[in-house]
Amino acid sequence: MSLIDKLTVAHWGHDDDDHRIEELAVTDAAASEALPNFVKRFLSERGLSDEFEGALAEISSTRPGVEGEKNTTMYALRFISLKGLSGELADALEEVTEAPAP
């Protein structure tokens, strides 16, 4: 299955780390609000931004009715999961949400 097929599959299988990210986003308003920008920064720091942006562009151009740009955070989370980095993202997100405000 291609990367694009994996990103756009209707039913996404979640692992424990994916559930940790979801739980943070649901239970912590600050995490939920920060998640879109946090995910983009995470991809950038790992040198994956270009690959992810290419995948989004391919989704938008080859999948009629699928709005890649509108669902950027969802696709980014799936992309991170496919790269095996969900645990690292969950740990980083937990650190940020647990840190005291300056």
pLDDT above 70 as % of the chain? 91
Instruction: Give the model confidence (pLDDT) of 23-49 as tens digits.
Output: 888 888 888 888 999 999 999 999 999
Distance CA 50, CA 31 (A): 25
Q: Is residue 7 part of a domain?
A: no
Distance CA 38, CA 84 (A): 17
CA 95 to chain centre: 17
Task: Please give the residue range of the domain that contains residue 52.
Answer: 15-97
Residue 56: pLDDT above 70? yes
N residues, the chain:
102
Distance CA 69, CA 11 (A): 19
In 9-77, DSSP assigns E strands to none
Q: Which residue has the higher pLDDT, 9 or 40?
A: 40
Q: In total, how many domains does the chain have?
A: 1
Residue 97: pLDDT above 80? no
Q: Is residue 59 part of a domain?
A: yes
